[in-house]
Amino acid sequence: MFKNIFHSHSSIMFLMDIDSKTIVDANKTALEFYGYPLVGMNISDISTLERGEIERNFEYIKLNGSMRYDEGHKIFSSDIREMNVNMSITSLGEKRYAFAILNDVTEEKHAKNMLERLSVTDALTGIYNRLHFNRELEKEIALFKQHSAEFSMIMFDIDHFKRVNDTYGHDVGDLVLKEVVRVVKEQVRATDVFARWGGEEFIIMAKNTPLRNAKRLAERIRSAIEKNDFEKVGHITCSFGISVLTPEDSESSVAKRADEALYEAKQSGRNCVKVK
């Protein structure tokens, strides 16, 4: 009875030796999906999980009888598909097997990942948005209080950006914003959190960075933007404000000081770096 249902079922199914993890039987749906004979193969031959993690999963199933989890599987086309695995112990005669029912959830995972990316990125520039930056700032302040991991905050905006929009139009203004982001991304490190703060204003969380290094970074960015030739607009400049986290700081206070330093840079003639 089990074998008849197993081989005629539309879901992907296979049986594995509970100890060796070798596939001992696979239904037609599984063979068509994977594109190669599965019988005799070890689950580690198709799974992207490390052997240690596979071992832990099987030990859990032996102890608890069942387990549901996601893992990547390699199919014949060399593609990696994300599979939801529902595995349980089943007995056939006197022998126990691991019985797996699998569903391809690749598209669902991709859609979920896309939604997650959209929720943390700025739609125009593709960098992080203010919401994500604030979340990261909260985490970094908590780390600072535990381990004194210093960091600096650099806030900057484009000088006379309203003039760009008024003269050339908002489409050109959008191109300028994107180009500024491209220039800045060439200067920041992978560990830095670079986000659009709002309008023409941007912010960088420079992790493990004392003030002297933050000033160097801000100056490099300022110079790179000043030297860049922006399409239709020519040359533009940016003003910068820096703050360094102190033990007394909250998320709002460290950002407020960076904003005050930026205002001071504007009042000092723009195209410069100030610290608060």
Active-site residues, by number, are 200
Concatenating the DSSP letter of every residue in 177-239 gives HHHHHHHHHTTS-TTSEEEEEETTEEEEEEET--HHHHHHHHHHHHHHHHH--BTTTB---EE
Task: Answer for the pair 13, 100: CB distance below 8 angstroms, yes or no.
Answer: yes
Q: Which of 237, 251, 242, 255 is nearest to 200 (CA)?
A: 237
- Give how far the C-alpha of residue 270 lies from the chain's centroid of Cα atoms, to the nearest Å: 34
Query: Bridge partners of 187?
Result: none
Residue 128 DSSP code: B
